[in-house]
Amino acid sequence: MRDVAVIGIGCTPFGEKWGSSFRDLFVQAGTMALEDAGVAGEEIGAMYVGNMSAGRFIEQEHVGALIADYAGLASDHIASTRVEAACASGGLSFRQAFIAVASGIEDIVVAAGVEKMTDVGTGASVDALAGAADREWEGFVGATFPGLYAMIATDYMNRYPLTREQLAEVAVKNHYNGARNPIAQFSQEITIETVLSSSLVADPLRLFDCSPITDGAAAVVLAPLERAREYTDTPVRVLASAQASDTIALHDRRDISTLDATVAAGKRAFAMAGLSPGDIDLVEVHDCFTIAEICAIEDLGFCRKGEAGRLTAEGVTALGGDLPVNTSGGLKACGHPVGATGIKQVCEVVQQLRGEAGRRQVDGARIGMTHNVGGTGATVAVHILGV
């Protein structure tokens, strides 16, 4: 097992990109990442592509090969593999790329994520996203994805001190950060009233508690640490890579409000890096819904169960706080092109650790974490990066 570094990153602007196709989006992100790394195409040994549901969104499977082809790499016949775990597809793509480099099988590997969601209508995309949960025993009876997280929120708010206003603070904070991120889907700050007056989607979650439907792609280039300086003056080390699973259906979990897969992946990541929560300077967590960020902060060990709402309201997780959470704007404000999200999280942390995050820079950030969830917590990927 060799040490691995991120040597280049690229990310398209996120949003409703009607003019861009699936392959256009990837080419844009991939080109940026290679340019950032100063890597020539022919040096790439393999690619991993995180994508949830191109089969449903654009009727196209086999997107690993598609993307290697449109990246101009077909004649090199590089290995290109699609990895899928719903909303955690990007995180798993990064992990597989990490394993490929760490093992010595490959030197230069691209980890990418893409989702083109706006080629179908809202009803169809809600239905495609429900494929992240248990189609036979959740989707069949009318459970939507926001509905499942809403049931987590109901359970959580019944057992722990979390007010509706504190939950809204998560969205307010993430929009504040998103307004400082040039690639974010939403560039407007919002207030608690914006959230509380938005329409109910699944009680108690309102429209502004939910991440949007987004098109986007992101890519990063990995290399063995010992070769990273050939390409960049600012390599970012991968200190830990961890993955965990849990029951596909929310109703089968040990505890509705604790994502045990987050707990497991978090512990494994800290153990691998030899670090503890106090060592983390910033974290990108999977805030597909506001309640998800609350659970993530706790389940990763940054505070005790039931405390995250208060800490959020106190500004601890804000840009200037002790533990900035979702400086990118998170899934909520930066947008959530499902398969791309896990890679975008890595891009954000790398930008922060390089000191290139502009108006949302966390001063002196040296260690960052990413947390990417599939479904309601059936898959979780956690990575720790450091300089």
Partner 1 sequence: MSVARFWRKIPQRYNLTGTRCATCGRYFFPPRYLCPDCRRAGKIGEHRFSGMGKVVTYTVIRTASEQFEQMTPYVLAIVELDEGPRLTAQLVCSPDEVRIGMRVRPVFRRISADGESGVIHYGTKFAPENP
| Residue ranges in contact with a second copy by CB under 8 A | 1, 21, 46, 52-53, 55-56, 58-66, 68-69, 73-75, 77-86, 92, 96, 99-100, 102-105, 127-128, 130-136, 139, 243-249, 252, 254, 260-261, 264-265, 374-375, 378-379
* CB crowding 215-254: b at 16 or more within 10 Å, else e: bbbbbbbbbbbeebeebbebbbbbbbbbbbbbbbbbeebe
* Out of 15, 139, 266, 324, the residue judged to bind partner 1 by CB under 8 A: 139
CB 18 within 8 A of CB 118: yes
* Out of 5, 6, 7, 27, the residue judged to bind partner 1 by CB under 8 A: 27
Among 4-12, 126-134, 219-227, 290-298, which window interacts with partner 1 (CB under 8 A)? 126-134
383 noted as active-site residue: no
* Out of 104, 140, 271, 358, the residue judged to bind partner 1 by CB under 8 A: 140
Spatial CA neighbour of 219 closest among 16, 41, 17? 41
On the 0-12 / 13-18 / 19+ scale of CB atoms within 10 A, 18 is exposed
The distance of closest approach from Cβ of residue 72 to a second copy in the complex, given in angstroms and rounded to an integer, is 10
* Out of 127, 189, 279, 307, the residue judged to bind partner 1 by CB under 8 A: 127
Q: Which two tokens stand for residue 113?
A: 């994520």
Q: Which of 175, 295, 334, 336 is catalytic?
A: 336
Spatial CA neighbour of 50 closest among 17, 83, 6, 98? 83
Report how far residue 160's alpha carbon sits from residue 116's, in angstroms, rounded to the nearest whole number: 37
- Is 313 a binding residue for partner 1 by CB under 8 A? The answer is no
Give the sign of the dihedral formed by CA 280, CA 320, CA 363, CA 372.
positive
Q: Which of 11, 87, 288, 334 is catalytic?
A: 87
CB 299 within 8 A of CB 258: yes
Spatial CA neighbour of 78 closest among 46, 110, 39, 40? 46
- Is 118 a binding residue for partner 1 by CB under 8 A? The answer is yes
Polymer length in residues for the chain: 387
Residue whose token pair is 């505070």: 303
Crossing angle of helices 122-130 and 145-159, in 10° steps, is: 60
Total residues at the site for partner 1 (CB under 8 A)? 57
The distance of closest approach from Cβ of residue 11 to a second copy in the complex, given in angstroms and rounded to an integer, is 23
175 noted as active-site residue: no
Spatial CA neighbour of 190 closest among 179, 203, 205? 179
Q: Which x/- pattern over 38-57 shows residues binding partner 1 (rule: CB under 8 A)?
A: --xx----------------
Spatial CA neighbour of 377 closest among 264, 262, 266, 263? 262
CB 28 within 8 A of CB 349: no
* Out of 46, 63, 71, 100, the residue judged to bind partner 1 by CB under 8 A: 71
The distance of closest approach from Cβ of residue 80 to partner 1 in the complex, given in angstroms and rounded to an integer, is 14
- Is 77 a binding residue for partner 1 by CB under 8 A? The answer is no
The distance of closest approach from Cβ of residue 288 to partner 1 in the complex, given in angstroms and rounded to an integer, is 15
Q: Which x/- pattern over 196-225 shows residues binding partner 1 (rule: CB under 8 A)?
A: ---xxxxxxx--------------------
Nearer to partner 1, 151 or 273 (CB): 151
- Is 105 a binding residue for partner 1 by CB under 8 A? The answer is no
- Give residues with Cβ within 8 angstroms of 144, minimum separation 6: 126, 129, 130, 202
Chosen from partner 1, a second copy, none, partner binding at 78 (C-beta under 5 to 8 Å by type): a second copy
The residues assigned a catalytic role are 87, 336
Binding site for partner 1 (CB under 8 A): 18-19, 21, 24, 27, 31, 34-35, 40-41, 58, 70-75, 118-120, 123-124, 126-127, 130, 134, 136-144, 146-148, 150-155, 158, 199-205, 249-252, 256
